């Protein structure tokens, strides 16, 4: 693959956006290769958590603007659709994902980070959806995901102004989960991933499904899904192990069964 690098550090799967001279701008090829990289991690049962990050001085500065001049109405629609479908796919996979954000997370770069379950950013990071300054608007799911993450008022402010905000401000409004010094970014993200890797995978998959699908359902439908899901978790070996470990005062060892 030319635009990303994948590295397995069991139980963590690392995916590096790898166009550093273009600040990891997302082109059609990267969209295709990201899907392949995600699938490689998804179908490897030894990989429990996926971390997406950027090589060089940015997570990603967004969609590749140099391709925009070639787009017409139809191909622009197709490009946005393929980027947005990638983000939907990442959001809904049944393994946890972490965006490890360094430098810039702008436009499609922030939309990719928002499709991940957890965002950990270095202090120097700047985040934003500056598409409006190009005479367009966020097209990889940003208009929908940002509202759901931080609420309508602040989401509109960020999208209408196109302003960049600091990592600290992003943490304050709930856009990132954690801000750390750049020198600690990799280790803190790894530690977070290892913590998630110890949790029962079936519970993780169900929590993701309930949250991601439930948010768009009438609350009673979501609550019913939650109750029904107990029928699934209570039929797993991990539930037996978790409850036994508590009663026997030992640490549970989950197997994803």
Ligand X SMILES: CC(C)(COP(=O)(O)OP(=O)(O)OC[C@H]1O[C@@H](n2cnc3c(N)ncnc32)[C@H](O)[C@@H]1OP(=O)(O)O)[C@@H](O)C(=O)NCCC(=O)NCCSC(=O)CCO
- Specify whether 123 is catalytic: no
φ and ψ at residue 46, rounded to 5 degrees: -80, -20
The mark string for 165-184 relative to ligand X (x by CB under 6 A, - otherwise) is --------------------
> Among 130, 200, 201, 242, which residue sits at the site for ligand X (rule: CB under 6 A)?
130
**Contact call for residue 108 and ligand X (CB under 6 A):** yes
Cβ distance to ligand X smaller for residue 136 or 245: 136
Q: Which stretch binds ligand X (CB under 6 A): 19-27, 32-40, 116-124, 192-200?
A: 19-27
Cis check for the bond before 241: say yes or no (omega within 30 of 0).
no
φ and ψ at residue 80, rounded to 5 degrees: -60, -40
> Among 111, 117, 171, 239, which residue sits at the site for ligand X (rule: CB under 6 A)?
111
Region of residue 56 (left: phi > 0; alpha: psi -120 to 50; beta: else): left
Q: Which stretch binds ligand X (CB under 6 A): 106-114, 220-228, 229-237, 245-253?
A: 106-114
According to DSSP, residue 52 is labeled E
CB burial string 224-255: b at 16+ within 10 A, e below = eeeeebeeeeeebebbebbeeeeeeeeebebe
**Contact call for residue 254 and ligand X (CB under 6 A):** no
**Contact call for residue 33 and ligand X (CB under 6 A):** no
């Amino acid at each position: 693959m030319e635009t990303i690098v994948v590295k397995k550090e069991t139980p963590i799967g690392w995916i590096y956006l790898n166009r550093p001279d273009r600040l990891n701008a997302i082109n059609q090829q990267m969209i295709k290769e990201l899907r392949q990289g995600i699938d490689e991690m998804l179908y490897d049962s030894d990989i429990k958590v996926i971390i997406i990050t950027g090589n060089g001085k940015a997570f990603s500065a967004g969609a590749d603007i140099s391709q925009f001049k070639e787009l017409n109405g139809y191909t622009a629609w197709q490009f946005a659709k393929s980027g947005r479908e990638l983000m939907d796919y990442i959001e809904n996979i049944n393994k946890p994902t972490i965006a490890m954000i360094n430098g810039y997370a702008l436009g499609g770069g922030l939309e990719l980070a928002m499709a991940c379950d957890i965002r950990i950013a270095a202090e120097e990071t700047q985040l934003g959806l500056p598409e409006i300054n190009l005479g367009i608007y966020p097209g990889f799911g940003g208009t929908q995901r940002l509202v759901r993450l931080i609420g309508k008022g602040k989401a509109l402010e960020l999208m209408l102004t196109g302003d960049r905000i600091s990592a600290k401000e992003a943490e304050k409004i709930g856009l990132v989960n954690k801000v750390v010094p750049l020198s600690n970014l990799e280790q803190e993200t790894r530690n977070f991933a290892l913590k998630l890797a110890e949790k029962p995978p079936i519970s993780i998959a169900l929590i993701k499904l309930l949250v991601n699908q439930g948010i768009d359902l009438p609350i009673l439908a979501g609550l019913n899904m939650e109750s029904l899901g107990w029928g699934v978790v209570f039929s797993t070996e991990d539930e037996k192990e978790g409850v036994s470990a508590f009663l026997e005062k030992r640490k549970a060892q989950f197997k994803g069964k």
